[in-house]
Chains A and B, each alone.
Chain A
Amino acid sequence: MSELIVENLNLSFGGIKAINDVSFTVEAGDIYAIIGPNGAGKSTIFNAISRIYTPDSGSIRYRGQELLERAAHQVVDLGIARTFQNIELFEKATVLENLLVGRSSKIRTNWISEFFFTRNVRKEERVHRRKTEEVLDLLNMQQYRYERVSDLAYGARKNVELARALCAEPEILLLDEPASGLNPEETTDMSFWLKDIKEELGVTIVMVEHDMSLVGRIADRCMALANGAVLAVGSVAEVQSDPHVQAAYLGQVAA
Chain B
Amino acid sequence: MQVIFRTSYDQDIDHLVDRGEKYRILAAIALALIAPLLVGSYLLSELAIFLVYILAGLGLMVLTGFSGQVSFGHAAFLGIGAYAHSIFLGYGIPFVVSLPMAGLLSGAIGAALGRAVSRMHGFYLAIATLAFAIVVETVIGEWEQVTGGHMGMQVPALSVFGLELGESWQQYYLILAVVIFFIWGVANLMRSPTGRAMVAVRDSEASARSLGLDTARTKILAFFISALITGVAGGLLAHLLFYLAPESFGVQDSLRLLLMIIVGGLGTITGAVFGAVFVTVLPNIIGVLKQILPDTVANAPGLEQLLFGAIIAGFIIFEPEGLYGRWRKLRLFFETYPYYKKSTFVRQKRYLKTERFR
Contacts and interface: CB of A to CB of B under 8 A. Distances in A.
Interface of A: 13-14, 50, 52, 71-77, 81-82, 84, 88-93, 96-97, 100-105, 107, 109, 111, 114-117, 121-122, 125-126, 128-130, 150, 164-165, 168
Nearest to A71: B214
Nearest to B15: A117
A73 B9 contact: no
B13 A129 contact: yes
29 contacts: A52-B209, A73-B209, A73-B212, A73-B213, A74-B212, A76-B212, A81-B210, A81-B211, A89-B203, A90-B199, A90-B204, A93-B199, A101-B196, A101-B199, A102-B211, A103-B193, A104-B213, A105-B211, A107-B193, A109-B192, A111-B194, A111-B225, A114-B188, A114-B189, A114-B193, A115-B188, A117-B192, A126-B13, A150-B348
B210 A72 contact: yes
Nearest to B217: A73
B192 A97 contact: no
A111 B189 contact: yes
B269 interface: no
Q: Which of A77, A92, A101, A125 gathers most chain B CB within 10 Å?
A: A101
A73 to B, nearest CB: 5
A88 B206 contact: yes
B275 interface: no
Given A73-B209, A116-B188, A122 B13 contact: yes
Contact of A101 (B206, B213, B221, B225): B213
Contacts of A100: 193, 196
A130 B9 contact: yes
Contacts of A74: 212
A76 B210 contact: yes
A204 B247 CA distance: 61
A17 to B, nearest CB: 15
Contacts of B193: 100, 103-104, 107, 109, 114, 128
Given A104-B213, A122-B13, A164-B211, A90 B203 contact: yes
Contact of A77 (B194, B197, B212, B221): B212
B267 interface: yes
Interface in B1-60: 9-10, 12-13
Given A111-B194, A126-B9, A101 B188 contact: no
Nearest to B214: A73
B159 interface: no
B294 interface: no
A126 B203 contact: no
B212 A168 contact: yes
Contacts of A71: 214
A129 B348 CA distance: 30
B215 A73 contact: yes
B252 interface: no
Interface string B319-352: 0000000000000000000000000000010000
B200 interface: yes
A13 B358 CA distance: 8
A14 B186 CA distance: 45
Interface of B: 9-10, 12-13, 185-186, 188-189, 191-197, 199-200, 202-204, 206-215, 221, 225, 267, 348, 358
B192 A92 contact: no
Contacts of B214: 71, 73
A101 B189 contact: no
Given A88-B206, A91-B204, A117-B188, 18 more contacts: A52-B210, A75-B212, A84-B207, A93-B200, A101-B200, A101-B208, A104-B197, A104-B213, A109-B192, A111-B189, A111-B225, A115-B186, A115-B188, A125-B192, A126-B10, A130-B9, A164-B207, A168-B212
A13 B357 CA distance: 11
A233 B308 CA distance: 63
B302 to A, nearest CB: 36
Given A111-B189, A111-B225, A114-B192, A92 B212 contact: no
Contact of B206 (A84, A130, A164): A84
B206 A97 contact: no
Contact of B9 (A14, A52, A91, A129): A129
Contacts of A102: 211
A50 B209 CA distance: 9
Contacts of B203: 89-93
Contacts of B191: 117, 125
Q: What are the 4 A-B residue pairs with the smallest beta carbon separation, nearest first?
A: A105-B212, A114-B192, A90-B203, A76-B212
Nearest to B347: A150
Contacts of B221: 111
Contact of A104 (B12, B188, B212): B212
Among A114, A116, A168, find the residue whose CB has the most chain B CB atoms closer than 10 A.
Answer: A114
B1 to A, nearest CB: 13
B196 A93 contact: yes
Contacts of B200: 90, 93, 101, 104
Contacts of A77: 212
Contact of A75 (B196, B197, B210): B210
A210 B196 CA distance: 33
Nearest to B348: A150
A126 B267 CA distance: 24
B212 A97 contact: no
B221 to A, nearest CB: 6
